[in-house]
Amino acid sequence: DILMTQSPLSLPVTLGQPASISCRSSQSLVHSDGNTYLNWFQQRPGQSPRRLLYKVSNRASGVPDRFSGSGSGTDFTLHISRVEAEDLGVYYCMQGTHWPRTFGQGTKLEIK
Amino acid sequence: QVQLQQWGAGLLKPSETLSLTCGVSGGSFSNYYWSWIRQTPEKGLEWIGDINHSGDTKYNPSLKSRVTMSVDTSKDHFSLKVTSVTAADTAVYYCARGAIMIYGLVGFSVQPLFDYWGQGILVTVSS
């Protein structure tokens, strides 16, 4: 199975400041079709995960443009340009290139 | 707007069979793979498997021996069964739209989505 490793696991942030979360995979996530199937999800307390980004850097419908994604191969990053109160929660990366699908451990974004 | 609504028993005894169903509304049921994912504090999010409208399945090898997924295209429902449950199967179970089937000249390719999720059901296994 592909191991997805996120860091940090806890990220204290100041509202209005930027934040970044790293995700590394144990193998390249480049698919034979040329796409890189790396998703980012946000999970607020008591809610289901919500897809934020797909194929590394494509924002899902309704996702604010303060969220962006970068990376390639095995190293990926979720960027939040200015953290707002509604962004607090746990963030997960997930690879969809290989079977079985696997998720990172999650990064808890909390107020400093 | 696609919506997924889940239902099933939330309390089981060890050795019983977990049974959950997910209904899809507001969009096409065909040409997609539909997923089951579970979440525990210890292991986080774990993909259980996918099924498409034709009944083609892909299971996580870690659970494959105990998992069966099925589909009812007349009702736009898909279901999950996990046999011989133990306390380790206690989790919040989610259904989701897992992938889209992209048809080409020869066959189809599968592109992951995970864009719509059900509300989640807590399943507790306890004697």
A48 with B115: Cβ contact below 8 A = no
Q: Which string of b and e fits A78-110 if b means at least 16 CB within 10 Å?
A: bebeebeeebbbbbbbbbbbbbbbbbbbbbebe
Per the CB < 8 Å rule, is A49 touching B45?
yes
Which candidate from B46, B47, B119 shows the least CB-CB separation from A48?
B119
Q: Shortest CB distance from A100 goes to which of B61, B94, B99?
A: B61
The answer to whether the Cα torsion of B46, A39, A26, A108 is positive or negative is negative
What is the distance, to the nearest Å, from the Cα of residue A20 to the centroid of all Cα atoms in its chain? 9
Least Cα separation, residue B81 to chain A (angstroms): 18
Helices (H), chain B: none
- Map tokens 């090898």 to a residue: B61
Neighbours of B26 (CB within 10 A): 10
Residues of chain A with pLDDT under 70: none
Residue B108 reports pLDDT greater than 90 = no
For B72-81, write each residue's pLDDT tens digit.
Answer: 999 999 999 9
pLDDT tens per residue across span B27-71 = 999 999 999 999 999 999 999 999 999 999 999 999 999 999 999
